Amino acid sequence: MITTSFENSVYSITLNRPEKHNAFDAEMIQSVTAAVHDIPADARLTLFSGNGKSFCAGADVSYMRAQAGFSEEQNREDARKLAAMFEAIYQLTVPTVVYAHGNIFGGGLGILAACDIAIAAEDAKFCFSEVRLGIIPAVISPFVLRKTGVGFARRYFQSAEIFSAEIAEKAGLISERISGAKSAETLAKLLAALTAAGRDAQKSVKRLLRSYENFEPMSRDQLIHELAKLRSSEDAQARMKEFLERSKK
């Protein structure tokens, strides 16, 4: 599901379901959450990436098929676990960096938005695909809106359009887009700069920034409730069934 490594003060968490474009399911959510909680005490930063063709293409089809049969309470508990994963990433006291490539859809954008610094391949593709399934990007929205603001979300949360790394950069969702050939060099320079900075100062910076950005017009519990309610609705059930039937072909 994932691999972890610790080298030169950098703790790396790599999504490792390349055959599924690193689409997540309940097991991967649990694995990522556990890995975040297991960060070494002397780590200076955490780096997220994905093996294979994509960083994370959202939810796995089999996982979605299981959700389609969940009750509202089961969907609520499932959404809590997903929200807890993003919150664990966001609450890390060390700098968090993500390098994203290929498709970054749905919940994959939650991991990206929960990290401090996001860099993406120039040809990466992004999509808030939830409304196509009759649901909303509920639990990822606080992390996305902290970076982009509401204006950007008004279009892409509602249209489920695929958008480019250029648009993601202009919106503030990512800080930089780079060609694949330069990805290793760019990441190395960034990681070197972050590990050379004062550790206590970085922790203080994160506290400062959170004090400004932690608006939540809807609480996390309200967002979980909204997602669970919609997942259980007739419209979402019908849309998911149609999607899952198409995915068999």
Neighbour order of strands in the sheet with 2-7: 2-7, 10-15, 45-50, 96-100, 117-121, 176-178
Summarised one tens digit per residue, pLDDT across range 141-188 is 999 999 998 999 999 999 999 999 999 999 999 999 998 788 899 999
User: Which tokens is 36 given?
Assistant: 């975040």
Q: Is the pLDDT of residue 214 over 70?
A: no
Who has greater pLDDT, 114 or 63? Answer: 114
Q: Is the pLDDT of residue 130 over 80?
A: yes
Q: Looking at residue 218, what is its pLDDT? A: 65
pTM greater than 0.75: yes
Who has greater pLDDT, 198 or 231? Answer: 198
**Do residues 183 and 155 touch, judged by C-beta distance below 8 A?**
no
Summarised one tens digit per residue, pLDDT across range 3-24 is 999 999 999 999 999 999 999 9
Cα of 83 vs its chain's centroid, Å: 10
Q: Looking at residue 216, what is its pLDDT? A: 54
Residues of the chain with pLDDT > 70, as a percent, come to 98
Summarised one tens digit per residue, pLDDT across range 29-57 is 999 999 999 999 999 999 999 999 999 99
Who has greater pLDDT, 204 or 174? Answer: 174
Q: Looking at residue 45, what is its pLDDT? A: 97
Query: Where does the pLDDT of residue 217 fall: very low under 50, low under 70, confident under 90, or very high at 90 and above?
Result: low
Mean pLDDT over residues 74-79, rounded? 90
d(CA 236, CA 132): 9
Q: Pick from 101, 126, 95, 89: which is nearest to 184 by CA?
A: 101
| Whole-angstrom Cα Rg for the chain | 17
**Do residues 51 and 215 touch, judged by C-beta distance below 8 A?**
no
Q: Pick from 191, 192, 199: which is nearest to 41 by CA?
A: 199
User: Look-up: residue for tokens 């009759």?
Assistant: 134
Q: Can you list the domains of the chain with their CATH numbers?
A: 2-180+217-248 (3.90.226.10)
pLDDT, mean over the chain:
92
User: Which tokens is 108 given?
Assistant: 């994959």
Query: Where does the pLDDT of residue 212 fall: very low under 50, low under 70, confident under 90, or very high at 90 and above?
Result: confident
Summarised one tens digit per residue, pLDDT across range 105-119 is 999 999 999 999 999
